[in-house]
Structure 1
Amino acid sequence: MKLHLAIFLLSIVCLTNLNAQKLENSTLWKIEGNGLQQASYLFGTIHITCDATIEDDVQKALDATSQVVLEIDMDDPGMQSKMMKGMYMKEGKKLKDLISTEDYIAVDSLFIKNMGMSVKMIENIKPSFLTAMLYPKLLDCTSQSFETELMRIAKEQGEEVNGLETIEDQLKVFDDIPYKAQAQDLVRSAKDNMSYDKETFAKMLNVYKNEDITAMIEMLNDDNFSSVSEHQDELLDNRNKNWVPKIGKYAKEQATFFGVGAGHLAGHNGVINLLREAGYTVTAVK
């Protein structure tokens, strides 16, 4: 349960940058220079997929490093309780306070149909988290996660798992984005029983398979997901900027494998460009 909650959280904060710059098609990048004694690696994940097989080049990078750093420390024993506290809207808000009666009925029908329960039972949860609960329904398979696989390998290798930000940092994003904006995206999904979402996610999986991290950014800047497209600073840019000095600190201490959502890699404010601006040499691993 703890891990599933964490994957849901990662899925709704792994978003995109409006200012894409074309990079080589690769989800694995080598970090060198700027005082590093050993190379570290940056891997772009997709948090929910049908096939989270770790390929040979990624396995070699894991073998060459001595710790794994994800967006959050997913083996934190206090993670589940922290997430549960942060999932609820502040000031006693409920979904019915944010949308019309007609739209509420549509969302309720969506949950009954796909989750086997009424949204009335959980309507005080932030709308983005309600949306995330439906994510496994976008797949025609049993969902898998790269984060789960990376944690498994780290455990097998006796390595520590750390995070670039805290659970509280990620949860705060969904207080900074207006609840009404989050609710409208949920309503849009309800009105076509997630048909558009399923089509979009299938395209995203294909883009990820091709390792086209620039196309992933362009695709995810979709006005149909307004809580994403209108809140890039909170969802992506500010977080990337906060991560870069932490990446440098971890990498200088020991060779590190960093695993973050692939949507964070490309773009002017993407992690790759920000690391280069900080003086690191970042090259695609083919």
Structure 2
Amino acid sequence: MKKISFLAIIAFIVATISVHAQENSLLWKISGNGLKKDSYLLGTLHVMCEEDYSLKDKIKNLIPLVDVLTLEVNIGSEENKAIIPEMMKPDTTFLKGLTPAELAKVDSILTSQQLSIRMLDMMSPAVFVSILSLKTLNCSDPRNIKTMEVDLQSMATAAGKRIDDLETLKFQMDMLNKMFQASDLVTYLNMMDDMPAISKKMVTAYQAENLKDLETIIYDNSYLSKEEQADFLTKRNQDWITKMPSKMQESSNLFAVGAGHLVGDKGLIKLLSAKGYKLTPIF
């Protein structure tokens, strides 16, 4: 009896380790629930330094298998291309609420980063914060930034696949502009010295496909409040989960979205599972 119990315990431990190991994947097959063809869910890191970037074979090999590449936003669509100039326009009221002391602090920090507060006279706050985020990556050559979505779209287009999206560029830009107020700029700039270490942790977790570590970093309240997390992740996940089933019924999709949308109790992996789909990690 003791021998049987011991073997049962060992089997349980091995099974538990296997289950947790299986969670370490950024690529998942979506099947079942009446789907005629499998679809796939990929977590991306939107922007990376060239030295940190790689597009794994398991991702490349999927392009011929699916009918549609579905991104958060299809920048190349005619609708989105038409509004890019409007979305990049500066907000002349953005800095109005800051005190002279805060303006001087912002100007000083930006100057130390080889940037200028006058950049906000030329671009929208959303574009400006994107530039700030690139600075935190500490790339060996900032000119060589890699974007997985661009590579995926190029491959899909070359293979004759349709490109679709889950939301519009206007929605994303409006969301970012709403989330990023002048007071947030002050807070963000005060954290600039800490941001490279956070970015490094995120890249390391992403390269290891460690969903648990990614979840911990992404849901760290020091740089995203509960309200911002809801706007940036939860509400969008809930919106996407209403759109994905019909897309999967029509065609086999590769959904490529930011990795933060996969993780957590309100992430796409759990939301899709709750809808009756079978989610299988691909290694």
Note if contact 2:83-2:170 (Cα within 8 Å) is conserved in structure 1: yes
Aligned to 1:244: 241
Tell me which of 259, 263, 266 is aligned to 1:262. 259
Which is further off, 49-58 or 264-273? Answer: 49-58
For residue 257 of structure 1, report the CA deviation from its aligned partner.
0.8
For residue 114 of structure 1, report the CA deviation from its aligned partner.
3.6
Note if contact 1:30-1:39 (Cα within 8 Å) is conserved in structure 2: yes
Which residues of 2 match residues 1-286 of structure 1 at below 5 A?
Answer: 24-50=23-49, 51-87=52-88, 92-95=92-95, 97-116=96-115, 118-123=116-121, 127-139=125-137, 140-141=139-140, 142-174=144-176, 176-177=178-179, 179=180, 182-191=181-190, 194-226=192-224, 228-286=225-283
5+ residue gaps, structure 1: 1-21
Coordinate RMSD, CA, aligned: 2.4
- Alpha-carbon distance change, 89 to 231 in structure 1, aligned in 2, over 3 angstroms: farther
For residue 61 of structure 1, report the CA deviation from its aligned partner.
1.9
In 2, the alpha carbon distance for the partners of 1:123 and 1:190 equals 18
Which consecutive segments of 4 or more residues in structure 1 shift more than 6 A?
A: none
Note if contact 1:106-1:191 (Cα within 8 Å) is conserved in structure 2: no
In 1, the alpha carbon distance for the partners of 2:168 and 2:83 equals 10
Aligned to 2:15: none
For residue 89 of structure 1, report the CA deviation from its aligned partner.
7.0
* C-alpha distance after superposition, 1:185-244 (max 9, x if no partner): 32234346x211111101110011111123212212233314x44322211111111111
For residue 44 of structure 1, report the CA deviation from its aligned partner.
0.2
- Identical pairs, percent: 29
SS in 2 for 1:259: strand
Larger radius of gyration: 2
TM-score of the superposed pair, with normalisation by structure 2: 0.82
- Alpha-carbon distance change, 276 to 249 in structure 1, aligned in 2, over 3 angstroms: same
In 2, the alpha carbon distance for the partners of 1:84 and 1:231 equals 26
Note if contact 2:90-2:121 (Cα within 8 Å) is conserved in structure 1: no
- AA matched with 2:209: E
Q: How many residues align?
A: 257
